[in-house]
């Protein structure tokens, strides 16, 4: 888990998810200076670490794991 949070971009994603509660990947791309593919990769790392949960209802939505 600490390795997943050791990246400043991933910390920013976690902070944004804490603020918004639920985000789509595009919402995060709008507020981060990163490409969509980069944000998706960071979300994958956070999801594998058990920090975020991603559900797919049409568009992928992410939230912090309770």
Give residue 57's pLDDT. Answer: 58
Instruction: Give the pLDDT confidence of 5-64 residue by residue, as tens digits.
Output: 889 999 999 999 999 988 888 899 999 999 999 998 999 999 999 999 887 556 678 888
Give residue 24's pLDDT. Answer: 87
Give residue 58's pLDDT. Answer: 66
Short-list 19, 38, 18, 21, CA closest to 29 = 38
> What CATH number does residue 26 fall under?
1.10.10.10
Number of compact structural domains in the chain: 1
Give residue 56's pLDDT. Answer: 52
Give residue 16's domain range: 4-64
């Amino acid at each position: 888990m600490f390795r997943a949070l050791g990246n400043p971009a991933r910390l920013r994603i976690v902070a944004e998810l804490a603020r918004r509660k639920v985000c789509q990947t595009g919402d995060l791309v709008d507020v981060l200076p990163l490409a969509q593919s980069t944000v998706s990769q960071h979300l994958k790392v956070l999801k594998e670490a058990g920090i975020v949960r991603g559900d797919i209802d049409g568009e992928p939505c992410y939230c912090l794991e309770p």
